[in-house]
Amino acid sequence: MFINNVGEIGIIHDRPAHSLPVNAWSGGQNVRCYEGGVEKFTGHRAAIGVPAVAPYFMLPVKTSSAAYWVYCGSAEVHVTQGGTGGTHEEITRSSSDYSASTSSQDWTGMVFGGIPILNNSSDVPQMWTPVDFSTPQLLQDLSNWPSGVTCKAIAGFKQFMISMDVSKTVSSVTTHYPRLIKWSHASSHNAVPSSWDETDATLDAGEYELADTTGNVMSGHQLRDSFIICKSDSIWGMNYIGPPFIFRFYEITQQFGALSRHSVIEVEGGLVVLANGDLLMCDGQSVKSLMTQKMRRYLFDSIDADNYGNSYLALNQPKNEIWICYPISGATWPNGAVVWNYKENSFGVRDLPTNSTFATHGVVNPSDAVDWTESGDWDDDTETWDSRVYNPSQTRLMLSNKGGSGKLYLMDTTHQFDSTNATSYIERTGLHLDKPNTVKLVKQVNLNMERRGSGTVEVMVGSHNHPEEGVTWSAPITIDPSSQSKVDCLVSGRYLALRVQSSTNVGWRLHGYGLDIKEMGVN
């Protein structure tokens, strides 16, 4: 019996193994499902130089002449182009350092009308004009920002700039309005708003307290002609209707809210939301679960109960993936990711570097980003399994890490995780082949595999006689996928199991497998 399309469904943790489709997997680590196959995750390595401060947030900025990576520490902001030696320049405002705490949730940012905007919850939002990298322009307070006002999130919607979770200081008294939405007057082309004065009836500026639920506003995101507001306990929409009210607000759901300030991301005309209990797709009118009966229980049973607010979503565009990055129980910062392939609706699992603070996608020039000589052949590092030609201007996933002095990692490069071999495995248990009462003898496994690099993989075959009992595994059998495809064995039981694993500097991809089975009778 041969089983194809082994990456079509992916890993499913939330259903018993014996109830899964034949080409689904019951467990795995550091593997992704992609274009019908399952493969070891490509690794990551430090790139674009050593950050000057431990980074908590990154904002990619692309101009007509250059691509920048701006990253924020607790008190300083720096920028790099990569380049020879990985030069980094400080662009902190001239007046003073910033007052952000050491939390990724403090910093948010966007590019509004071509102008990079950064916000840290405590200071006036900052604007940046990248002119010349050799003498970079420093950050400045956002022009026309209202005096005595700060916000915890800021976003753009058409020609409006929108601040959320607002604090106002009047006569040295600060009042926090966690459910307040405050918007600017409409801006001119390639300019920041000229006013935020909600009392001026001649302007479109205004504010509205979204008080129907008690949760704080976490973030807001444009979705086509709507602005979607994610609170901690609900999701709302906001549409432009013109004077005198300017915007109309409407409820999408009060069943779920955003888990953190960076837990919403747009993909293919919808918003993916890491919510308080599920991963959702929001189309602007309703939400639907993406993880029910797949990985929802696994994720929320694994996430650290005290530090879930450090979780974030990241788009890995070349692989059609959303990474759900979260701190595994006992960790403060994300160190693991559940990976959803939004084209194929399949899930994989990946380790992250300890103390990973943020991830986002932007343009990375491979000739500037990495010392490729460390890993040998350039093509071996970057070529995808379907042999697509790599485009130097293609967006790539970058991850910031606060460990030590901090690092900036380029993801999906080489077969190692920061120069260390990573253990990967894919596993299926509870395989009964529609005959759960029949004892089966497996005499041979045939693997349809590819290999990158020079390492080996191990194959284990197992069995169990009851769906809930543990698997008895054979001893690992080492093979070279480039020259070997058959594994001889003698394993019998009502339910069968297969595990493919590696801990060497090798990339592997499994397209399918065959089982040479003899039925031994009904037990």
Return the number of other C-beta atoms located less than 10 Å from residue 163's C-beta.
Answer: 26
* pLDDT band at 82; cut points 50, 70, 90: low
Average pLDDT of the chain is: 91
Q: Is 273 exposed, middle or buried (0-12, 13-18, 19+ CB in 10 A)?
A: buried
Is pLDDT above 80 for 392? no
What secondary structure letter does DSSP report for 137? P
User: Is residue 84's pLDDT more than 70?
Assistant: no
**Biggest distance spanned by C-alpha atoms of the chain:** 86
Question: With pLDDT > 90 as the criterion, what percentage of the chain qualifies?
Answer: 81
**Is pLDDT of 378 > 70?**
no
Mean pLDDT of 503-522: 94
Residues 6+ apart with CB under 8 A from 371: none
> Looking at residue 258, what is its pLDDT?
97
Position with higher pLDDT, 474 vs 189: 474
Element containing residue 300 per DSSP (H, E): helix 296-302
Given a cut of 50, whether residue 303 has pLDDT beyond it is yes
Please, are residues 469 and 461 in contact by the beta-carbon 8 Å criterion?
no
How buried is 1 (Cβ within 10 angstroms: 0-12 exposed, 13-18 middle, 19+ buried)? exposed
Distance CA 396, CA 362 (A): 6
Given a cut of 90, whether residue 395 has pLDDT beyond it is: no
Q: What is the pLDDT of residues 12-48, one digit of tens each?
A: 999 999 999 999 999 999 999 999 999 999 999 998 8
Give the C-alpha separation, 166 to 64, whole Å: 34
- Select the more confidently predicted residue: 501 or 81: 501
Q: Which residues of 116-142 are buried (b: 16+ CB within 10 A; e: fewer)?
A: bbbbbbebbbbbbebeeeeebeebeeb
131 band by pLDDT with thresholds 50, 70 and 90: low
Give the pLDDT band of residue 405 (cuts 50, 70, 90).
Answer: confident
* 92-101 pLDDT, tens digit each: 999 999 986 6
Any residues with CB less than 8 A from the CB of 94 and at least 6 apart, and which? 138
Give the H/E segment covering residue 46.
Answer: strand 44-46
Taken as a whole, the chain contains a residue count of: 523
* Amino acid 2: pLDDT: 95
> Can you tell me the distance from the alpha carbon of 360 to that of 143, in angstroms, rounded to the nearest whole number?
27
Cβ-Cβ contacts under 8 Å for 346 (sequence gap 6 or more): 7, 8, 9, 10, 11, 33, 340
- Has this prediction a pTM greater than 0.75? yes
At 366 the pLDDT is 55
Question: In angstroms, what is the C-alpha Rg of the chain?
Answer: 25
Residues 432-455: what's their mean pLDDT? 94
Q: Rounded to an integer, what distance in angstroms lies between the CA atom of residue 282 and that of residue 288?
A: 7
E-state strands within 294-437: 312-316, 321-326, 336-341, 346-351, 356-363, 395-401, 407-411, 424-431
218-228 in b/e burial notation, b at 16+ Cβ within 10 A? bbbbbbeebbb
The stretch 164-173 carries a mean pLDDT of 96
b/e code 321-331 from CB counts within 10 Å (16+ = b): bbbbbbbeeeb
Q: What is the pLDDT of residues 178-224, one digit of tens each?
A: 999 999 999 998 899 999 999 999 999 999 999 999 999 999 999 99
CATH value of 2-41+422-522 in 2.60.40, 3.30.70, 2.60.120, 1.10.10: 2.60.120
